[in-house]
Amino acid sequence: MSIAVAIILFVVGLIMLFLGGEGLVRGASRLARVLGISPIVIGLTVVAFGTSAPEFVVGLIAALKGASDVVLGNIIGSNISNIGLILGIGAIISPLIIQIRIIKVEVPIMIALSLILYGLAAWSLNLGLLQGVFLFGALIAFTIYSYFGSKKEPKEVEEEFEEFVGSGNSVRKQVVFIVLGLVALIIGARFVVDSAIFIARVVGISELVISITAVAIGTSLPELSTTIIAAIRKEHDIIVGNIIGSNIFNIGILGVISIIHPVTVDSALLRFEFPVMIFFSILVLPLMITGKKVGRVEGISLLVLYAAFIFMVFR
């Protein structure tokens, strides 16, 4: 395989990940509506997992190939890009009004899980069955808590999810969307992982660098698409809930991957990439508390910090 073919496969893989994630989210969300499931529950489960599906499939395939740097680089890079890049873009398009529940509950949970993941990774430089069960258990607990907490959400939040999810009256059509989405995710993930490893080796950069930048941004495309659409519609709860929920789900699905196949932790990650992920997670809190919104100035600041992170990674 030549470098040109590898780049083409990488781009095609990213496109398939995007389309697959979109198909999975739309099909599953509308199928759930047909079955009578409330929009808020769909947002907490189907949409949150669906937008993290590319990270999961890419991570699982990379783990089975023994490419632990790709697994961790993708998850860490996605969580950083979700806040620095995607939240920043959303705030620039439309300043985000933040629900107090997000500030009090979801953001602290995201910070806590980021710190716990760092501790587990530093403990033995390996994420295996025990660590995976703990992280996945935390995700299940968060989902259950969110479900019961959603019953107390204001009516306008429910209406936002209703409008965003949309409707679909054909079960067969939604099932087709789901199946095609899953197929596209699997094939796209295979293209991305294989081509990323090949490009890294040919160009002479580490698999970690290409995973934490190009692969991470690529697997975050569903979140970016959701954010841009919701920002134009001024559906702020969709944006913030999707980003924070996706970061929590990313850590949880890393637990699932670790259960299936152990993930080795490069100690270099503990000195830079992990602390940066924690920094961005913590940074969200003061940004949101100030006036309970993330405005355009904050959005630009997030983009600048993310650009600085990318520069340091390549440096």
pLDDT digits 0-9 by tens, 287-313: 766 656 777 888 899 999 999 999 998
- Give the model confidence (pLDDT) of 191-224 as tens digits: 888 888 888 888 888 888 888 988 888 888 777 8
Report pLDDT for 206: 84
Number of compact structural domains in the chain: 1
pTM: 0.84
CATH of the domain at 305: 1.20.1420.30
Phi, psi (rounded to 5 degrees) for 293:
-155, 160
Phi, psi (rounded to 5 degrees) for 128:
-120, -150
Other residues' Cβ atoms within 10 Å of the Cβ of residue 47: 28
Other residues' Cβ atoms within 10 Å of the Cβ of residue 271: 9
| Residues of the domain holding 20 | 3-314
Query: What does the block give as tokens for 158?
Result: 């429910």
Which three-class secondary structure state does DSSP give residue 294?
strand
Question: Buried b vs exposed e over 149-171: b needs ≥16 C-beta within 10 Å?
Answer: ebeebeeebbebbbebbeebeee
Query: What does the block give as tokens for 237?
Result: 């709860």
Report pLDDT for 214: 84
- Give the model confidence (pLDDT) of 65-85 as tens digits: 888 898 999 999 999 999 999
- Tell which wins on pLDDT, 59 or 101: 59
Q: Is residue 197 a contact partner of residue 60, using CB atoms and an 8 Å limit?
A: no
Label residue 19 by pLDDT band (50, 70, 90). Answer: confident
- The span from the CA of 214 to the CA of 195, in Å, is 12
- Signed CA dihedral, 112, 114, 117, 122: sign only: negative
In the predicted model, is pLDDT for residue 164 greater than 70? no
Provide, for the chain, the percentages of residues in helix, strand and coil under a 3-state DSSP scheme, each rounded to the nearest 5: 85, 5, 10
- The residue-averaged pLDDT of 86-92 equals 90
- Tell which wins on pLDDT, 230 or 309: 309
Range of lowest pLDDT (23-32, 55-64, 79-88): 23-32
In the predicted model, is pLDDT for residue 146 greater than 90? no
Residues of the chain with pLDDT > 90: what percent? 29
